[in-house]
Structures are given as structure tokens and as C-alpha cells.
């Protein structure tokens, strides 16, 4: 028919092109015979079918030619154009193109293979996205760790219920406070306290460069309380002292049966009555009396101070205290007992 004579050459040239393959000649011959033997409608259907057949044959042909020439990437692109993404992905892998392979695997809905290929291609975000989609956030977190994306890794570990590994990721990123909170949630009190202690060390290093001492005290208090929960009294006492909470420090020292350190903590915090009481319990009467004498003198109780100095064996100071109390006779006696006859005579 006249219509076919006008359109068929255009179709044949468009789809066969310059290849001039024997198969193309065969298809053209069959089309010509069909055009003479059938109606226009059937011719159009037949031509479309033949065009589809040629497209299929042409794709396979191009793939085979590319492979024979040692060009798997060209073969992969031909497969991708035809929608055969699974085969394209395999060919891209063979060509050493993991990124294109990953994209093809994803289009083929082979997400596990796609995620692994993205990882090999150095695309951690895409790999992580797919592993999370596959219900494997731990693998995604491990990929983020390799990329030193500590926050993202920790988030995914928490999502997977692995708080300890999340804390390790945050620790590597220097986020000790957040790591400590996760460990506390996991009932790892000692590990949580140790992690907070590292934050104090960092703050103390900043103080040497002009940082805030108040920040050190506040964080030290948190560390001390954490060590209390962990039943580590000596460590708790140490950080209570750094926080200038000396009474609490003394109590922790007592819990650890470190009475001498407890006395020092009481004295550092100005809790001298508690120190005196503890020294008496320890049998250190003279030491207790010496502290009592200093305390009595400071509040103007010179008679009491003098007696305390006598108990402490410091008779010279006892004599001066009696003198300040207006008791010159006892002041003279104390001076005489101290071997200071000249002062004794003056007082009398």
C-alpha cells in the first residue's frame, strides 16, 4: 500500500540503522511480504512486533560485542538501558565500578547487594540508609564509625539497643558526658563515673589555659555522686574534695575506713569540731586538743583554749592563753612548767 511505502523505510532505517546485519535484511524481507499479503492494520502490528524483536536482538548483540571487546562497562550500560538492572549491576562490578553497580542493584531492588556496593564505593551515607532500611542499624553504625561520624554511629547503636557500643562511639568523639549517661542507663555505674571523670580531666586542662574553675567543681560533684552510686568511696571522696564538698568527702573517707584522710577533709572544710571528735575516737588526744585550742582562741574562749593547750603539751601557748583570760596565777604556773622562769616571775 502507498502508506506503507512511505512509512516502512523510515521505520526500518530508524531501527536498523547502519548495521546492515543479515538479521536486519531478513526482517525487512518478511515485512515486505507481510505488507503485500495483509491489511494495513496487521502490517502495523507486525512491524511493531518486529521492531521490538529487533530491539531485543540489538541489545543482546551490543552486549555480546562489548564483552568480546573487553568492555564490560559498555555491556552494563546496554543492560541498564534495556531495564536489566541485575545483569547490569554484575557487569558494573566486573568493570570495577562499584558506584554504578550499587545504583543498578538498588534499581533491581537488591538492597543488600546495593548497600555493600555503596560501602565499597565509599558512599557511607547511602550504604547506611539501605542497611537501616533492611533492619540492620548495627551494620550502618559500624560504617559510620569507619567514617568517624560518631554521633550518627551512636544514634544507630542506640536504635539497635546497644547502648554500650553507642557510648564507645561517643567516647571516641570526646563526648564523655553523653557517653556517661548511656552507660548509666545501662546500669554500668562504675564505667559511667569513669567516663565523667575524663570530662573533669579535660576541664582541668582548660583551667590551666584560663578556663573556668566553677565548671570543674560542678562536674566534679557529678563525678563524686556517680562514684557513690558505684560504691567507690575513695574515688567519690577524691572528687568531692575537687568539688570543695569536704564534709561529704570526709564521710566517704570514713566509709572506706580512712580516718586520717577524713580528719584532713574535715579540717579543709572548716569542720574542726567534727575533726576533734574523730581524733578523740582515734585516740589522738594531743592532736584533738591542739585543734580545740586554736578553735577556742579564735572565738575568744581563752580559758578553754589554755586548758586545751595544756592537754596538747604546749605549755607556752597555754600560759599566754591563761594570761589573755586574766588568770595570771595559772599563766605563771604554766610558764614555770614550760621552763620559762623569767615569764613566770613577770606574771607573778
Tens digits of residue pLDDT in 272-289: 999 999 999 999 999 999
Cβ partners under 8 Å of residue 347, min gap 6: 319, 323, 328, 329, 331, 332, 335
> If you search the block for the grid coordinates 557529678, which residue do you land on?
222
The pLDDT, as a whole number, for residue 35 is 60
For the stretch 316-348, pLDDT in tens is 888 888 888 888 888 888 888 888 888 788 877
Average pLDDT across the chain, whole number:
83
Per residue in 244-268, pLDDT tens? 999 999 999 999 999 999 999 999 9
Sorting pLDDT into bands at 50, 70 and 90, what band is 18? very low
Which residues in 26-57 are b (16+ Cβ under 10 Å) and which e?
ebbeebeebbeeeeeeebbeebeebbeebeee
Residues 6+ apart with CB under 8 A from 55: 15, 82
Give the pLDDT confidence score for residue 153 in this predicted structure.
96
CA dihedral 132, 134, 136, 139 (to 10 degrees): -70
pTM of the model: 0.67
Amino acid at each position: 500500500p502507498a502508506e506503507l511505502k512511505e512509512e516502512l523505510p523510515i521505520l526500518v532505517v530508524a531501527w536498523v540503522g547502519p548495521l546492515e546485519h543479515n538479521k536486519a535484511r531478513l526482517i525487512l524481507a518478511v515485512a515486505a511480504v507481510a505488507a503485500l499479503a495483509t491489511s494495513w492494520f496487521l502490517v502495523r502490528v507486525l512491524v511493531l512486533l518486529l521492531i521490538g524483536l529487533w530491539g531485543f536482538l540489538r541489545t543482546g548483540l551490543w552486549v555480546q560485542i562489548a564483552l568480546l571487546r573487553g568492555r564490560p562497562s559498555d555491556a552494563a550500560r546496554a543492560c541498564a538501558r534495556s531495564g536489566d538492572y541485575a545483569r547490569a549491576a554484575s557487569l558494573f562490578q566486573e568493570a570495577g565500578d562499584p558506584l554504578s553497580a550499587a545504583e543498578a542493584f538498588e534499581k533491581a531492588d537488591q538492597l543488600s547487594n546495593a548497600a555493600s556496593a555503596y560501602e565499597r564505593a565509599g558512599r557511607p551515607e547511602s550504604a547506611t540508609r539501605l542497611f537501616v532500611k533492611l533492619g540492620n542499624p548495627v551494620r550502618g553504625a559500624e560504617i559510620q564509625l569507619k567514617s568517624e561520624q560518631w554521633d550518627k554511629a551512636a544514634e544507630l547503636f542506640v536504635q539497635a539497643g546497644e547502648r554500650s557500643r553507642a557510648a564507645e562511639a561517643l567516647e571516641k568523639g570526646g563526648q564523655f558526658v553523653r557517653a556517661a549517661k548511656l552507660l548509666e542507663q545501662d546500669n554500668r555505674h562504675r564505667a559511667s563515673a569513669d567516663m565523667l571523670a575524663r570530662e573533669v580531666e579535660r576541664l582541668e586542662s582548660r583551667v590551666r589555659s584560663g578556663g573556668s574553675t566553677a565548671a570543674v567543681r560542678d562536674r566534679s560533684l557529678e563525678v563524686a555522686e556517680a562514684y557513690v552510686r558505684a560504691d567507690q568511696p575513695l574515688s567519690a571522696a577524691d572528687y568531692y574534695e575537687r568539688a570543695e564538698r569536704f564534709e561529704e568527702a570526709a564521710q566517704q573517707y570514713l566509709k572506706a575506713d580512712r580516718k586520717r584522710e577524713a580528719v584532713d577533709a574535715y579540717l579543709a572544710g572548716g569542720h574542726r569540731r567534727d575533726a576533734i571528735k574523730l581524733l578523740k575516737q582515734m585516740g589522738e588526744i594531743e592532736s584533738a586538743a591542739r585543734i580545740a585550742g586554736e578553735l577556742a582562741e579564735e572565738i575568744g574562749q581563752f580559758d578553754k583554749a589554755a586548758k586545751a593547750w595544756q592537754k596538747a603539751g604546749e605549755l607556752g601557748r597555754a600560759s599566754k592563753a591563761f594570761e589573755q583570760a586574766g588568770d595570771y596565777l595559772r599563766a605563771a604556773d604554766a610558764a614555770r612548767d614550760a621552763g620559762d622562769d623569767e615569764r613566770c616571775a613577770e606574771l607573778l
